[in-house]
Chains A and B, each alone.
Chain A
Amino acid sequence: MRRLAAAVLLLLLAGGIARAVEPGERLADPALEARARAIGKELRCLVCQNESIDDSGADLAHDLRVLLRERLKAGDSDRQAIAYIVARYGQFVLLKPPVEPATYALWFGPPALLALAAIAIALRLRRRDTSAPPAPLSAEERRRLARLLDEGT
């Protein structure tokens, strides 16, 4: 039992440690390192393409992490450091696409469709509400209804 607990504990610890950012890459300044981490999570590793450079073990991701930290140390703002890498690899490196005319359809398309659907449903419901109530039954119809109901019993 104790062995099992130890194994589980080790596994949990390993989960925390097994990150792609290598100890040698870290910056001495914790604030700067935190910024580098935050930016690294937003940048795509071009080799694996669905991992951030922060998570990826690829060589290129390592190089980009080091480059990013160099830019930050040289006094780049977050935005400048990101622009530096985008200038080389294109907007595809951004895991989150920026909001600009070329991506309006991407950002606003789904909410717009949702809004359209909501409007369509609202219109339909309102039309149903405002439709005139059915005309009351005539005397002849009432008699027929009573007859039918009687037959049923």
Chain B
Amino acid sequence: MKRALYLLPVALFLVLAGYFAVALRPGRDPSLLPSALIDKPAPDFALAGLDGTPGLSLASLKGQVAVVNFFASWCVPCRAEEPLLLRLAEQEHVPLYGIAYKDKPADAQRYLAQLGDPYRRIGVDESGRTGIDFGVYGVPETYIIDQAGHIRFRYVGPLTAETLERELLPRVKALGAS
């Protein structure tokens, strides 16, 4: 009994070390939040498009595995991920849709004219309400919505070549195959 007591500090240390190991894992960003909507129906939305183009609504996405990307012309990290989005759309042929979050249509238009437009269709969420419905807390954010209109994956922050290959594409393919 006495001897067991001497082991108590060791046990406490191991528990503490366990907490540190989880919390300080390399690559873990504590400011990233899980989505509250994973595996739930995506919030309904119907947004106007940019000049002359048809807008974007949830109904129009159904029946396919769609990738929806929230972006904004005022968002600097969005510019960083733009080449990857172009690759996703052109080389991988993933149905990619854009929602311009809290952006003016004219600004969004200019932004896409500068960097290239990877999106099949775009909806303009000027008020940011659709963003709130999705739980967006900072652009860019990328969602995978399955055939039935359920949100299956969310990625916060700019996509990198690695996250695209490791996290986004396998999921899109797996969902598309099922």
The yes or no verdict on A and B being binding partners is: yes
Residue in B127, B133, B137, B138 with the greatest tally of chain A CB atoms within 10 Å: B137
- B76 → A minimal CB distance (Å): 15
Q: Is the CB of A46 within 8 A of B36?
A: no
Dominant secondary structure of chain A at its interface with chain B? helix
A65-105 vs B, Cβ < 8 Å mask (1 yes, 0 no):
00100000000000000000011111110000000000000
Residue B135 is within 8 A (CB to CB) of chain A in the complex: yes
Residues of A within 8 A of B35 (CB): 90
Q: Is the CB of B36 within 8 A of A60?
A: no
Instruction: Categorize the interface residue count of chain B.
Output: 10 to 19
- In the bound assembly, the distance between CA atoms of A80 and B130 in angstroms comes to 19
Q: Is the CB of A88 within 8 A of B133?
A: yes
Q: Is the CB of A87 within 8 A of B102?
A: no
Known contacts A60-B137, A64-B132, A86-B36; is A49 also within 8 Å of B31 by CB? yes
- In the bound assembly, the distance between CA atoms of A63 and B135 in angstroms comes to 12
- In the bound assembly, the distance between CA atoms of A88 and B137 in angstroms comes to 10
Q: Is the CB of B36 within 8 A of A89?
A: yes
Which residues A36-65 have CB closer than 8 A to chain B? 46-47, 49, 59-60, 63-64
B116-155 vs A, Cβ < 8 Å mask (1 yes, 0 no):
0000000000011100111101100000000000000000
Q: Residue B138 contacts which of A47, A67, A88, A90 (CB distance < 8 angstroms)?
A: A47
Q: Of all chain A residues, which has the CB nearest B134?
A: A88
- In the bound assembly, the distance between CA atoms of A91 and B36 in angstroms comes to 8
Residue B37 is within 8 A (CB to CB) of chain A in the complex: yes
Residues of B within 8 A of A47 (CB): 137-138
- In the bound assembly, the distance between CA atoms of A59 and B75 in angstroms comes to 13
20 CB contacts below 8 A, A to B, read: A46-B33, A47-B137, A47-B138, A60-B128, A60-B137, A60-B138, A63-B128, A63-B129, A64-B132, A86-B36, A88-B37, A88-B43, A88-B134, A88-B135, A89-B135, A89-B137, A90-B35, A90-B135, A91-B36, A92-B33
Which residues B2-47 have CB closer than 8 A to chain A? 31, 33-37, 43
Known contacts A47-B138, A60-B137; is A88 also within 8 Å of B128 by CB? no
- B39 → A minimal CB distance (Å): 13
